[in-house]
């Protein structure tokens, strides 16, 4: 069967059939349904390889995330896929397993598959740089959430410094005068920026932050539990424990329950990302909401712009405004009246 057979069955031109089946240009919904019905009846399908050779594009986008098991990245992938839905492009997803070597292999594989572009959240702030740079030289590339320095690629994420100001202003207003920070090792831009924002605002508010209250491990519930055990093993707890992501915060609150430490009466706890499990915690977590849909749509928009014939000379660095979602892991603010 050929496209001409489909056109004859549907009663339209071959150009209309092409547009209806590929989504290259807008076609009336009723016409699309008529063409699809005719194609199904005749057993016709688009030759994607031939189309790619003719158009010099594959209508595929590659995405590499540090760990698909982290609910934040799972949600981010879902949002990117939805953002791509209107463009007719398909998403190839790769899990870097938090390993720069695996990440480099995944990036090379996507380039070899002739994807039209790549969206990546780098695993490591330094070790990921060579592979990201190599991929960016081959295809349009956008970094999101995390980034590596020394690249000329676009980036979109949340303003982590502003987010930490929101967190510390809130717990301080609720009575906290000392705070601990629990995050991952300083191997990615997210933790680096969040720790920097935490330290800056704690100093501005004159909150007590001891060196042994800065605990760096990994983004996991298990690490949150371990961190609380370390903090609880000292002479006194800080008034607040600020966590670099929700998984860590959930581990902290779980360990607090095991030790009969009351949250937020004995210690306030905050998370970051606003994953679905944050509102299901005991107590529900106060956390920084990352606008996943907006991050994804901006990344897709930047990638489309970079793929255009007139790509911008300077790379874009888009830091979106964060929002604090207040729940029950922090104290109620005093009545200012």
User: Residues 137-147: pLDDT tens digits?
Assistant: 999 999 999 99
- pLDDT confidence bin for 292, thresholds 50/70/90: very high
Percent helix, strand, coil in the chain, to 5, is 45, 15, 35
In this prediction, residue 181 carries a pLDDT of: 98
- 125 CB-near residues (< 8 Å, 6+ apart): 146, 147, 148, 149, 186, 187, 188, 189, 192
- Indicate if the pLDDT at residue 322 is higher than 70: yes
Contact (CB, 8 A) for 240 and 179: yes
Q: State phi, psi for 288 to the nearest 5 degrees.
A: -90, 125
Q: Which CATH architecture has domain 160-290?
A: 3-Layer(aba) Sandwich (3.40)
The secondary structure of residue 150, as a DSSP letter, is T
Q: What is the CA radius of gyration of the chain?
A: 24
d(CA 183, CA 181): 7
Longest dimension (CA), the chain: 83
Q: What are the domain boundaries of the chain?
A: 3-46, 60-157+291-318, 160-290
Q: What predicted TM-score, i.e. pTM, was given to this entire model?
A: 0.82
Contact (CB, 8 A) for 81 and 51: no
Q: Which CATH number fits domain 60-157+291-318: 3.40.30.10, 3.30.70.1230, 3.40.50.2300, 1.10.8.60?
A: 3.40.50.2300
- Higher-scoring residue by pLDDT: 333, 203: 203
- Does 60-157+291-318 match 160-290 in CATH topology? yes
The secondary structure of residue 309, as a DSSP letter, is T
In this prediction, residue 336 carries a pLDDT of: 58
- pLDDT confidence bin for 46, thresholds 50/70/90: low
List Cα–Cα distances, 200 to 52, 127, 157, 174, 176, in angstroms.
51, 27, 20, 19, 16
């Amino acid at each position: 069967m050929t496209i001409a057979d489909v056109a004859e069955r549907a009663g339209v031109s071959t150009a209309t059939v092409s547009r209806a089946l590929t989504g290259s240009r807008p076609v009336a919904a009723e016409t699309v349904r008529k063409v699809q019905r005719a194609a199904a009846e005749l057993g016709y399908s688009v030759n994607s390889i031939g189309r790619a050779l003719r158009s010099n594009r594959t209508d595929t986008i590659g995405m590499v995330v540090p760990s698909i098991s982290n609910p934040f990245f799972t949600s981010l992938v879902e949002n990117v896929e939805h953002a791509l839905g209107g463009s007719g492009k398909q998403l190839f997803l790769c899990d870097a397993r938090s390993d720069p070597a695996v990440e480099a292999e995944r990036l090379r594989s996507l380039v070899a598959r002739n994807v039209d572009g790549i969206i990546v959240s780098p695993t490591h702030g330094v070790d990921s740089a060579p592979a990201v740079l190599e991929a960016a030289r081959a295809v349009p590339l956008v970094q999101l959430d995390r980034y590596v320095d020394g690249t000329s690629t676009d980036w979109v994420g949340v303003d982590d410094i502003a987010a930490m100001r929101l967190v510390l202003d809130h717990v301080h207003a609720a009575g906290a005068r000392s705070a601990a920070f629990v995050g991952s090792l300083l191997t990615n831009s997210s933790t680096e920026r969040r720790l920097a924002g935490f330290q800056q605002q704690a100093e501005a508010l004159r909150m007590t932050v001891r060196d042994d209250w800065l605990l760096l491990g990994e983004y996991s519930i298990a690490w949150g539990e371990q961190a609380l055990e370390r903090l609880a093993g000292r002479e006194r707890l800080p008034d607040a424990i600020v966590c670099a992501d929700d998984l860590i915060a959930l581990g902290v609150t779980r360990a607090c329950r095991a030790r009969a430490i009351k949250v937020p009466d004995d210690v306030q706890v905050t998370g970051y990302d606003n994953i679905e499990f944050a509102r299901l915690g005991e107590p529900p977590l106060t956390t920084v909401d990352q606008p996943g849909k907006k991050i994804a749509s901006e990344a897709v928009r930047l990638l489309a712009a970079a793929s255009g014939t007139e790509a911008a000379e300077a790379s874009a660095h888009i830091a979106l405004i964060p929002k604090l979602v207040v729940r029950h892991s922090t104290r109620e603010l005093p009545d200012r009246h």
